[in-house]
Amino acid sequence: MDLLEYQGKQLFAAHGIAVPGGEVAATVDEAVAAAERVGYPCAIKAQVPIGGRGKAGGIKIAADAAQAREHAGAIVGMDIRGPRGEGPFRVERVWVEAGSDIDSEHYASVILDRGEKKLLAMVSAKGGMDIEAVAAEDPEALVKQHIDPTRPFAAAEARPIVDAAGLDEDVREEVAAALAKLAEVAMAEDASLIEVNPLVVTNGREVVALDAKVTIDNNALYRHEELAAIDAASVTDPQEAMAREKGLVYVKLDGNVGILANGAGLCMSTLDVVAQAGGEPANFLDAGGGSKAEAIVDALTVIGSDEKVTAILFNIFGGITRCDEIATGIVEASGQLDLAVPLVVRLDGTNSERGLEILAAAKLPNLHQEKTMLDAARKVVEIAGRPPAADAGVSERGSRRS
């Protein structure tokens, strides 16, 4: 789960990392009232879980109440896409933040290094810009050090990389302390990514986190009640919310071919094969290992409620999952739901013959069987046709990352 900037900053503040004062607001009036309390100049910042907000027009500085109203009016409700096509995310909240008196902008992060199986602290004197670009153009400007995850990371251990990064001498101790606290946040809050870009030094020589990008490990939410509540409230897409309620693993995509498969790998592969056949997947839905009839009904309810979907592909390779149970689930679902779109079903693996017999006996209208994954993908793409024009639907979705 990715926290919004203000949620990340609240987490920082709780661990003693300096952040600018501010207030969160959901409407233009609330934003203006917040700006009056925060004082001018202040920044009105769109709260969406992606980078590149400034370039997209999601961050503006207000010098007075009139400007606060103008900027908040432009930002609240706008749709922002990330630099790599993430989203779009609708701005439902803005963070109204006291202006900072900036001398210099830097970069600090603590991330999970999957390859080395350690946490990794990074610092750079160059901040406020795309850090991947900095790393590509000037690798030495980004200084790294691994952290032992079994014990606290002390400021004294962070000091050498802060020295190596070449920050101003008078702030090095404070930056090292901030880096140690970021590591503390990672370990205490189960964050697998914490990025501060920029970490600023003010004219008063204070070290302040001006932005916060925090990713929390979903598997650890059970031990963080407040973060779990944020996660639960973060799902605004209607299908994603419904799927979560039913305990299904679902991700909304932009296309019109509904997808249901068992197992995460097979499901990803199904999306790819559908795309190769010229189709556009509408979703990822992993029905899981032991998919029972009830789960099939739930899955079809979620996929079928997406108005863009014009056909649904069922791709099942039964291992522990038995194809006869899946087939029974499809027949039951067809009886319970008023599914308007055709289904293409491919059943293979455990008890597949029995499953195919059940489907054949039910004589469901609008159901097509295919023997292989590739044939099923071609068939569903043929039936689904082209998705409706891209500009309808897409910009009105306001989906959010989970």
Partner 1 sequence: MSIVVDNDTRLVVSGLTGREGSFHGLRNRSYGTYLAAGVTPGKGGQDVEGVPVFDSIREAVEQEGANTSMIFVPARFAAPAIDEAIESGVHTVIAITEGIPVLDMLRTYWKAKEAGVRLIGPNCPGVLSPGKANVGIIPAQFFDPGKVGVVSKSGTLTYQIGNELKQAGEGNSSIVGIGGDPIVGSDFIDVLRLFEADPETELIVMVGEIGGDAEERAAEFIAAEISKPVVAYIAGFTAPPGKQMGHAGAIISGSSGTAQAKKEALEAKGVRVGESPTETAAIAVKALRA
Decide: 337 and 299 in contact? Cβ < 8 Å.
no
Answer yes or no whether residue 86 interacts with partner 1 by CB under 8 A: yes
CB-nearer residue toward partner 1: 67 or 256: 256
CB-nearer residue toward partner 1: 164 or 268: 268
The one catalytic residue in 5, 6, 107, 240 is 107
Answer yes or no whether residue 190 interacts with partner 1 by CB under 8 A: yes
CB-nearer residue toward partner 1: 72 or 380: 380
**Nearest Cα to Cα of residue 189 among 372, 45, 13:** 13
Answer yes or no whether residue 2 interacts with partner 1 by CB under 8 A: yes
Q: What φ, ψ does residue 185 adopt, rounded to 5°?
A: -60, -45
Q: What are the CA-CA distances from residue 285 to residues 142, 298, 313 (Å)?
A: 39, 11, 11
The one catalytic residue in 97, 189, 195, 325 is 195
Task: State the nearest-atom distance from the C-beta of 17 to partner 1, in Å.
Answer: 19
Stretch that binds partner 1, among 28-36, 98-106, 111-119, 296-304 (CB under 8 A): 111-119
Task: State the nearest-atom distance from the C-beta of 266 to partner 1, in Å.
Answer: 4
Stretch that binds partner 1, among 56-64, 102-110, 201-209, 261-269 (CB under 8 A): 261-269
What are the residues whose beta carbons fall under 8 Å from the beta carbon of 82, sequence distance 6 or more? 50, 51, 52, 89
How are the residues of the chain apportioned to helix, strand and coil, as percentages rounded to the nearest 5? 40, 25, 35
User: Is 107 known to be catalytic?
Assistant: yes
Task: State the nearest-atom distance from the C-beta of 257 to partner 1, in Å.
Answer: 11
Instruction: Find the largest Cα–Cα distance for the chain.
Output: 80
Answer yes or no whether residue 150 interacts with partner 1 by CB under 8 A: yes
- State the burial class of residue 39 (Cβ atoms within 10 Å of its Cβ: 0-12, 13-18, 19+): exposed
Decide: 251 and 391 in contact? Cβ < 8 Å.
no
Answer yes or no whether residue 253 interacts with partner 1 by CB under 8 A: yes
Task: State the nearest-atom distance from the C-beta of 222 to partner 1, in Å.
Answer: 6
Answer yes or no whether residue 226 interacts with partner 1 by CB under 8 A: no
**Nearest Cα to Cα of residue 326 among 307, 302, 361, 350:** 350
SS3 state of residue 317: strand
User: Is 132 known to be catalytic?
Assistant: no
Select the residue interacting with partner 1 from 29, 101, 245, 272 (CB under 8 A).
272
Residues in the chain: 402
CB-nearer residue toward partner 1: 163 or 375: 375
Reading the block at residue 286, the tokens are: 């992993």
SS3 state of residue 100: coil
Quick one: how many helices (H) and strands (E) in the chain?
A: 14, 18
Task: State the nearest-atom distance from the C-beta of 89 to partner 1, in Å.
Answer: 10
Task: State the nearest-atom distance from the C-beta of 374 to partner 1, in Å.
Answer: 6
CB-nearer residue toward partner 1: 118 or 292: 118
DSSP string, 171-221: GHHHHHHHHHHHHHHHHHHTEEEEEEEEEEEETT--EEE---EEEE-GGGG
Answer yes or no whether residue 273 interacts with partner 1 by CB under 8 A: yes
How many chain residues bind partner 1 (CB under 8 A)? 61
Answer yes or no whether residue 187 interacts with partner 1 by CB under 8 A: yes
Segments in 127-171 forming alpha helices (H) = 131-137, 155-165
Select the residue interacting with partner 1 from 267, 327, 330, 358 (CB under 8 A).
267
Answer yes or no whether residue 268 interacts with partner 1 by CB under 8 A: yes
Task: State the nearest-atom distance from the C-beta of 281 to partner 1, in Å.
Answer: 6
Does 342 sit behind a cis peptide bond, omega within 30 degrees of 0 on the bond before it?
no
Residues that bind partner 1 (CB under 8 A): 2, 49-50, 82, 84-86, 112, 114-115, 117-119, 132, 149-150, 186-187, 190, 192-193, 217-220, 222-223, 249, 251, 253, 261-269, 271-276, 281, 284, 286, 289, 317-320, 348-350, 372-374, 401-402
Q: What residues are labeled active site? A: 107, 195
